[in-house]
Amino acid sequence: MISGFGFGQAMALSAAVSWALAVMLLRRSGESLPAFELNLFKNLLGLALLIPTLIFTLGLDIPDYSAKDLVIALVSGFLGIAVADTWYLRALNLVGASRTGIVASLFSPFVILLSVIFLGESLGGWQLLGFGLVMSGVVLVSWRQSRIEVDSAQVRKGVLFAAGAVFLMAVGVVMVKEILETRPFLWTLSIRMLGGVAGMMIYVSVRRHWAMVRSQFARPQPWRWIVMGSFLSSYLSMMMWLAGYKYIPASEASILNETASAWIVLFAWLMLGESIGTRKLVGLLLTFTGAIVMLQV
């Protein structure tokens, strides 16, 4: 048994696997529901599932959060779910999934930097080696040799949106880590999700897009795949993702989360029959080796 493997590490890795499976299910839906509407549905479903989970497990007693804690949790959800997701989707529209996915690999460096500055965390030698292996593997499995010509100004704008998105995701999870450690987990998760959903609804209201959103939901959609993928991504994976940050250092959890890119490639090969060449195989080996090295602490 790996010496550094515990509950927090298991949650961080399980979140990556669950997210990868969710991506497979949402791919099978044909992506007929636009990204923003799909994200809104995912988060609404996640919040709707969290409420009965709270009642069943913790009852109706509201824990004693300070006003500061409530504000931090809500702002964390607003930044990490509402603003960051919107910017990420904007980046996808500008420069496509390949470039956006590569820029998204900045998530771990951002979390590590913020954790060192604000949480006093640090990485040991094994963790630094594991970080290098994981990031190298992620780049290999995400890289695309074919490139679609895009205006250089558009590329710069898209990269800025993508980098800003993953930075806000990192800010959102680092700022809520102390509350995750000291307050009831499910309540904190629910408050954070509420902040994200409220932010998205405010955005739709300000842009007056409610009619467009309703029209998308009214159209025939592969709801079976969408609901299953949403359950995995915005409920199960979200709980395991934040549980990882609750029980282990944020810098370590973020690196283990990066293995999601490799899991997606592996599941796409196993479930969807997508090709997997030498470059991706090397990337998978590097990523999983890095994750194992990360646990040698």
Predicted local confidence at residue 159, as pLDDT: 79
Using 50, 70 and 90 to split pLDDT, how confident is the model at 162?
confident
Per-residue confidence (pLDDT) for residue 296, from 0 to 100: 61
pLDDT at 149: 52
With beta carbons less than 8 A apart as the criterion, state whether 247 and 11 touch.
yes
pLDDT of residue 3: 43
What residue has token string 């602490």? 297
- State how far the Cα of 173 lies from the Cα of 132, in Å rounded to an integer: 22
Residue 109, pLDDT above cutoff 90: no
Q: Which residue has the higher pLDDT, 149 or 213?
A: 213
Question: Where does the pLDDT of residue 73 fall: very low under 50, low under 70, confident under 90, or very high at 90 and above?
Answer: very high
Residues 191, 62: Cα–Cα separation, whole Å: 11
Residues 184, 124 contacting (CB under 8 angstroms):
no
pLDDT cut 70: percent of the chain above it: 86
Residue 297: per-residue pLDDT: 53
Measured CA to CA, the distance from residue 69 to residue 161 in angstroms comes to 28
* Number of structural domains found in the chain: 1
Q: Rounded distance, CA 129 to CA 294, Å?
A: 8
Packed helices 125-142 and 260-271: angle between N→C axes, nearest 10 degrees = 40
pLDDT of residue 31: 60
193 pLDDT above the threshold of 90? yes
Instruction: Assess whether pLDDT exceeds 80 at residue 288.
Output: no
Mean pLDDT of 194-206: 91
pLDDT given at position 145: 54
In a domain, 1, yes or no: no
HEC string of 94-105? HHHHHHHHHHHH
Q: H/E/C letters for each residue in 9-55? A: HHHHHHHHHHHHHHHHHHHHCCCCCCHHHHHHHHHHHHHHHHHHHHH
Confidence of residue 92 (pLDDT cuts 50, 70, 90): low
User: Looking at the predicted structure, is the pLDDT value of residue 81 above 50?
Assistant: yes
Residue 2 counted as domain residue: no
pLDDT confidence of residue 77: 95
Task: Of 157, 208, 182, give the one whose Cα is nearest residue 69.
Answer: 182
> What's the pLDDT band for 117 if we cut at 50, 70, 90?
confident
297 versus 245: the higher-pLDDT residue is 245
Q: Averaged over 80-96, what is the pLDDT?
A: 77
Residue 150 lies in a domain: yes
Q: Count other C-beta atoms under 10 Å from residue 64's C-beta.
A: 8
Reported as a single tens digit per residue, the pLDDT across 216-261 is 888 888 888 889 988 998 899 999 999 999 999 888 888 888 777 7
Rounded-to-10 torsion of CA 96, 17, 236, 161: -20
Residue 180 covered by a domain: yes
pLDDT score for 179: 94
pLDDT digit string (tens) for 1-56? Answer: 344 568 998 999 999 899 888 877 776 665 677 778 888 998 999 999 999 999 88
Looking at every residue in the chain, the average pLDDT score rounds to: 82
**165 lies in a domain?**
yes
Neighbours of 3 (CB within 10 A): 8
- Per-residue pLDDT at 152 exceeds 50: yes
pLDDT at 244 (0 to 100): 92
User: Which residues neighbour 124 within 8 Å (Cβ) at sequence distance 6 or greater?
Assistant: 297
Q: What are phi and psi of 185, to 5 degrees?
A: -60, -50
Residues 53/186, Cβ–Cβ less than 8 Å? yes
Q: For residue 267, give its domain range.
A: 7-294
276 domain residue, yes or no: yes
- CA–CA distance, 258 with 109 (Å, rounded to integer): 11
Residue 168 has pLDDT above 70, yes or no: yes
Average the pLDDT over 56-78 and give the result. Answer: 90
The stretch 277-294 carries a mean pLDDT of 78
Closest CA relative to residue 247, chosen from 59, 33, 11: 11
